[in-house]
Chains A and B, each alone.
Chain A
Amino acid sequence: MLVSISILVFLIFFATPGVDPAARIAGRNADQLTLQQVRATFDLDKPIHIRYVSMMKHLFIDRDLTSYVNRGAEVWPQLTQAIPATLSLVFGAALIWLVLGLALGITAAGMRKSWVDPAIGIIGIIGVSLPVYWLGEVVNLITQGRLHATLFRWVPPLGYVPFTESPGGWFLALLFPWLTLSLLYAGIYIRVVRSEIVGLMQEDYIKTERAKGAGEKRILIKHASRMSLITVVSLFGLDFGALVGGSALLTEVVFGIQGVGRLTFTALQNFDLPLIMATVMYAAFFIVIANAVVDLVYAWIDPRVRRG
């Protein structure tokens, strides 16, 4: 899987019809001579499979792959510097959206006959409909704008504060990015949890439980909610992997957090292929790991998987 993803990325950047990477690196109005020089320095004149193998070797075995744009700057340190910021952002947001999604989703499914269910449904729809970068801007406008002098004096300026430097500062700097990022996912999870539980309530084992005289509350919490976790976990694996891998870039850009997503985006804009390869491989690595963890958690939640 990791190999096929790396090949896909490589092909996108080097073999897309009508795109000349040398021209992109050299700039818009480069003459033929410059283009040739660029091709020579970056080995672009060699066959594509040789370039691929050489880049992979430098990236993983020698670990000395250097950037195309900042000549000599190694790729690994840039990546390892950006990882803590992204991990902090995604972990915090994930905690919030899981708690919100499960709590509200279960509540909505349990109170289907009252106004609570549609009300939570509306929260869910709004959550999935707001563009996250725009929400971030609105949050900035409120916390960094006019109210910054009075109500939100305690909010630090945009940016990331390492945990090791100041745990309190780390928390305050990430609080609003966490809330912003988690709202979208909370919306998704509320909707998924609710519809899963409502569907599961039709299952035979729930009917059995009901026939045995178990209370509706017990059935909801102990049986339906537990089984709905299977869907939640697999969804969470995908989302978490993607976010840690750089999909949080919109939130990172808006809140000025120097994370992996932002690093990837800068690399893409500069056409800095070694850096792009590194960040994408790191992203794919996290996605694969997340999926493996998901399989383990399945067995823990669903007794049938353990037996089977």
Chain B
Amino acid sequence: MTTHEPAFNLSSESPGKIALRTLVRDRRSWVASTMLVIVVALTLFAPLYASLVSKTDPFVSTINGTVVLDGVEVQVLQQSTEGLKIGVNPIGPTWKIGPYFLGADNQGRDVAARLLYGGTNTLLIGFSAAALTLIVATLVGVIAGYSGKIIDSVISRILDVIWAFPVYLLSISLSVVLLTSGFKWGPLSLEAGSLYLPIFIIGLVYVPYVARPIRGQVLALREREFVKAAIGGGAKNSTIIFREILPNVIPSVLVFIPLMVSLAMLTESALSFLSIGVQAPDASWGTIIKDGLGLLYTRPIVALAPGLFIAFTAVSLNLLGDAVRDALDPKARLRGAF
């Protein structure tokens, strides 16, 4: 490192290292990661927030409860004083660190605490469903693309049919069917109303979106010289798949991660909004928006806050997705240099 730099960088750095360096240098990835870390940290603090700050159980309704604010004891749910004076008005946001920072929902539960707990579920489902999609899709795509012939055409047909089915309609249909009865098939058993159900459904409906491009890529890889050489050299199928094919597919899978998490999260919240996702008493950002619907004109914050959280998280994931794509796709880097 004492002599001058060579005119051309002829170092034999691995593509992975180059990609990582591009990613680290990209301002977008820093902004996006910071945003993500903030959201994840906030949701992880949910139990702490509930016990130390809000001091109420966010999963138990306190319809007749009272709370002391500024030294005055007030009802959590007050009789409405407007219009026909029917119905109740939950406590509004206090905007002070303490109980009911963002007010209460129509069951007297602390919105801020529920928001954090709901975030845990939304993010958990988003990440797990995306992981499920990517694992299944890579498996299916590699098997279809590598084995070719009948197996490939059968798998491709099935993927085509699922693909032609709008994602939302498919996931809603599956949720409606499975929600009340759960799913039992051989050793696999998912309880009705459990968090695994939306993970399972969302994870599966997006499989064609990832499996189809991966299959195409594997088909092309099979024709490449280095794979042919391995076949000619008498390598076992498993060796070829794990040593030659998979390492070349992994970058595409990585590009999909942030996008799939974002899509899975948005789908989860939409399903929960339609009350066929996360089930009470559990919360997710989608269910809180649904709870806030009835209070939209009196306590808009209940519906607004979770939506802002969803948007914030999705923006960070999409931003990260763009940065990862540019770092891993050499063509995109070329575009950047142009």
Cβ of A140 under 8 Å from chain B: yes
B166 near A242 with CB under 8 A, answer yes
How many Å lie between the Cα of A198 and that of B334 in the bound state? Answer: 10
Whether A268 lies near B334 (C-beta < 8 A) is: no
B311 touches A130 (CB 8 A): yes
Report B103 CB to chain A, min CB distance, Å. Answer: 15
* Pair A131/B266 contact, Cβ less than 8 Å: yes
The reply on B213 being an interface residue by CB < 8 A is: no
Chain B residues with Cβ below 8 Å from A283 are: 166, 169
The reply to whether A284 and B165 form a contact with Cβ atoms under 8 Å apart is yes
Give the dominant DSSP class at B's interface. Answer: helix
Instruction: Sort chain A's interface into a size bin.
Output: 35 or more
Interface status of B315 (Cβ within 8 A of chain A): yes
Chain A residue with minimal CB distance to B321? Answer: A125
Which residues of chain A come closer than 8 Å to B161, judged between CB atoms? 1, 4-5, 8
Could you write out 24 A-B pairs with CB less than 8 Å apart?
A: A1-B164, A4-B157, A4-B161, A5-B161, A5-B164, A16-B177, A17-B184, A18-B189, A19-B177, A24-B180, A125-B319, A126-B315, A130-B307, A131-B269, A134-B289, A135-B307, A137-B289, A145-B297, A199-B331, A202-B335, A246-B166, A247-B169, A250-B270, A284-B165
**A20: CB under 8 A from chain B?**
yes
How far is it, in angstroms, between the C-alpha of A130 and the C-alpha of B334 when the chains are bound? 31
Known A18-B184, A134-B306; further 13 A-B contacts with Cβ < 8 A: A1-B164, A130-B307, A133-B273, A134-B311, A137-B303, A137-B307, A202-B335, A242-B168, A246-B166, A269-B176, A284-B164, A284-B165, A288-B164
Q: Which residues 207-255 of A sit at the B interface, judged by CB distance below 8 A?
A: 242, 245-247, 249-250, 253
B307 touches A201 (CB 8 A): no
Give the chain B neighbours of A250 by CB distance below 8 A.
168, 270, 273-274
Contacts of B303 in A (CB 8 A): 134, 137, 141
Q: Is the CB of A140 within 8 A of B296?
A: yes
Q: Decide if A35 is an interface residue (CB 8 Å cutoff).
A: no
Nearest A residue (CB) for B160: A1
Any B CB within 8 A of the CB of A30: no
A129 in contact (CB, < 8 A): yes
B98 within 8 A of A: no
Chain A residue nearest to B303 in the complex (CB): A137
Among B262, B292, B331, B335: residue with most chain A CB under 10 A: B335
Contact flags B306-322 to A (C-beta < 8 A → 1, else 0)? 11001100110111001
Task: Find out whether the CB atom of B311 lies under 8 angstroms from the CB atom of A271.
Answer: no
Interface: B15 (CB within 8 A): no
A-contact 0/1 string along B177-196, CB 8 Å cutoff:
11011111100010000000
Q: Determine if B253 is an interface residue (Cβ-Cβ < 8 Å).
A: no
**Interchain CB contact under 8 A, B172 and A141:** no
Query: Are B274 and A253 closer than 8 Å at their CB atoms?
Result: yes
**A-B pairs under 8 A by CB, number:** 144
Instruction: Determine if A137 and B176 form an interchain contact, defined as CB atoms under 8 angstroms apart.
Output: no
Interface: A25 (CB within 8 A): no
- Contact residues in A for B242 (Cβ distance below 8 Å): none
Closest residue of chain B to A246 (Cβ to Cβ) is B169
- State in angstroms the CA–CA spacing of A145 and B303 once bound together: 14
Q: A129 and B289 in contact (CB under 8 A), knowing A138-B304, A268-B176? A: no
The verdict on A287 contacting chain B, using a C-beta distance below 8 Å, is yes
On whether the beta carbons of B296 and A141 are closer than 8 Å, the reply is: yes
In whole angstroms, how far apart are the Cα atoms of A250 and B171 in the complex? 13
From A134, which residue of chain B is reached at the shortest CB distance?
B307
Contact with B along A171-189 (1 / 0, CB 8 A): 0000000000000000000
The 4 closest A-B pairs by CB, nearest first: A129-B314, A134-B307, A18-B184, A242-B166
Report which of A18, A133, A246, A249 forms a contact with B183, defined as CB distance below 8 A.
A18
Q: Are B176 and A133 interface neighbours, CB within 8 A?
A: no
Q: Which residue on A lies nearest to B314, using beta carbons?
A: A129
Q: Is B173 an interface residue (CB 8 A)?
A: yes
Task: Name the residue on B nearest A4 (C-beta).
Answer: B161
Given contacts A137-B289, A198-B335, contact A17 B185 (CB under 8 A): yes
Within 8 A of A (CB), among B264-307: 266, 269-270, 273-274, 286, 289, 292-293, 296-297, 300, 303-304, 306-307
B165 contact set on A, CB distance < 8 A: 5, 8, 284
Which residues of B have CB within 8 Å of A265?
Answer: 172, 274
Q: Mark A20-63, 1 if CB is under 8 A from B, else 0.
A: 10011000100000000000000000000000000000000000
Q: Does B8 contact A (CB under 8 A)?
A: no
**B-chain residues with CB within 8 Å of residue A284 when the two chains form the complex:** 164-165
Cα(A275)–Cα(B157), bound, Å? 26
